């Protein structure tokens, strides 16, 4: 048997892109597989970003999709459920399920956990102790801001959702977003906001995202005050000295691959 596959989970986000690039620079490319789980509801500009990253990687990206659901709205409407204490079903069926079907025994996974997310990585390892995991961004000490800056310096335009000021490149109208996020969606994507509000009306109070702290009364999108929440308008793009060390590693690999 040969060495196990190294599977980079590329999400069309800056962190996963840099994590993938660092992995390609460190390991035998013949072992590396890059996958993207397409949930069907992300910004259309993600296709452009994926193509740009594929050229940067000089390595193919395999797109995985659910065979059961078309997109997040298809999940919401069929399952009659948006989000609860245990999260959102859309993440499981549109992202996790296709990757589990693709995965092979012995695969080593690469996640784009940044230095700020050391706790998340530790929790994943504890809960999935049998799953080999690589976290190149944590090893390199790279933050999310570092990754955003490195993508820009590589000459790749950031995905549209970052440029609009969102902190993550999630689906448009993520049910896990807070009040500030949804008020920003109201401004930037009013049709998405109204579609979700209409769905909440149809599904009832159990589908509302938030509760008032004091009264515990549920708050619908229809009742959300446009002034509530605090979502920063611009992404925090800066770069530490650790960026330069990581970029030197990437540059060495690019020279060898050329």
Phi, psi (rounded to 5 degrees) for 256 = -70, -35
Please tell me the distance from the alpha carbon of residue 158 to that of residue 167, in angstroms, as a whole number.
12
Q: How confident is the model at residue 235 (pLDDT cuts 50, 70, 90)?
A: very low
pLDDT digits (tens, 9 = 90+) for 116-171: 999 989 998 999 899 999 999 999 999 999 999 999 999 999 999 999 999 888 89
Question: Residues with Cβ < 8 Å from 70, sequence gap 6 or more?
Answer: 40
Which has more pLDDT, 245 or 9? 9
pLDDT of 54 over the 60 cut: yes
Q: Which letter does DSSP use for residue 68 in this model?
A: S
pLDDT > 90: percent of the chain: 77
> What pLDDT does residue 125 have?
93
pLDDT tens for each residue of 171-206: 999 998 899 999 999 999 999 999 999 999 999 999
Instruction: Give percent above pLDDT 70 in the chain.
Output: 91
Name all contacts of 197-203 with Cβ < 8 Å and 24+ positions apart.
197/221, 197/222, 199/76, 199/77, 199/82, 200/82, 203/80, 203/81, 203/82
Q: Range of 37's domain?
A: 6-73+89-158+237-257
For 225-231, what is the mean pLDDT? 89
CATH number of the structural domain spanning residue 102: 3.40.50.620
Tally of domains within the chain:
1
For residue 194, being part of any structural domain is answered with: no
Residue 258: pLDDT over 70: no
Confidence of residue 253 (pLDDT cuts 50, 70, 90): confident
Q: What is the pLDDT of residue 242?
A: 52
Residue 161 is predicted with a pLDDT of 93
Give Cα separations from 212 to 7, 25, 88, 206, 220 (angstroms). Answer: 42, 49, 21, 14, 11
123: CB partners within 8 A, 6+ apart = none
139 lies in some domain: yes
- Indicate whether 169 belongs to any domain: no
Q: pLDDT confidence of 230, banded at 50, 70, 90?
A: confident
Q: Does residue 94 or residue 258 have the better pLDDT?
A: 94
The C-alpha atoms of residue 256 and residue 62 are separated, in whole angstroms, by 23
Residue 1 pLDDT more than 70?
A: no
Q: Is the pLDDT of residue 245 over 60?
A: no
**Percent helix, strand, coil in the chain (nearest 5)?**
50, 10, 40
Mean pLDDT across the chain: 90
Helix, coil or strand: residue 20? helix
The alpha-helical segments, DSSP class H, found in 7-88 are 14-26, 45-57, 72-79
Does residue 53 lie in a domain region?
A: yes
Give a yes or no: residue 170 inside a domain: no
Question: What confidence tier does 240 reach under pLDDT thresholds 50, 70, 90?
Answer: very low
Distances (CA, A) of 154 to 18, 157, 230: 10, 9, 31
Closest to 16 measured CA to CA, from 175, 126, 150: 150
Residue 201 lies in a domain: no
What six digits make up the tokens of 234? 């611009």
In a domain, 178, yes or no: no
Whose CA is closest to 25, among 144, 157, 154? 154
When pLDDT is cut at 50, 70 and 90, the band that residue 229 belongs to is: confident
Find the mean pLDDT for residues 91-107: 92
């Amino acid at each position: 048997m040969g060495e196990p596959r190294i599977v980079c989970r590329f999400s069309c986000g800056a962190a996963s892109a840099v994590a993938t690039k660092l992995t390609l620079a460190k390991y035998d490319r013949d072992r590396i597989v890059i996958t993207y789980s397409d949930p069907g509801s992300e910004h259309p500009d993600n296709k452009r970003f994926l193509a740009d990253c594929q050229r940067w990687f000089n390595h193919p990206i395999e797109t995985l999709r659910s065979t059961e659901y078309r997109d997040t709205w298809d999940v919401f409407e069929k399952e009659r459920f948006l989000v609860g204490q245990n999260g959102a079903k859309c993440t499981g069926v549109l992202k996790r399920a296709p990757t589990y079907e693709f995965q092979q025994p012995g695969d080593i996974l690469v996640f784009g956990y940044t230095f700020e997310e050391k706790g998340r990585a530790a929790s994943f390892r504890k809960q999935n102790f049998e799953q080999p995991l690589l976290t190149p961004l944590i090893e390199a000490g790279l933050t999310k801001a570092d990754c955003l800056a490195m993508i820009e310096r590589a000459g790749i335009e950031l995905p549209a959702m970052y440029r609009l000021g969102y902190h993550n490149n999630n689906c448009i109208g993520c049910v896990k977003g807070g009040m500030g996020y949804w008020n920003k969606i109201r401004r930037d994507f009013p049709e998405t906001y109204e579609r979700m509000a209409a769905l909440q009306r149809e599904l009832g109070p159990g589908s509302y995202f938030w509760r008032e702290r004091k009264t515990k009364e549920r708050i619908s999108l229809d009742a959300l005050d446009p002034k509530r929440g605090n979502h920063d308008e611009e992404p925090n793009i800066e770069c530490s000295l650790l960026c330069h060390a990581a970029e030197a590693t990437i540059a060495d690999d690019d020279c060898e691959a050329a």
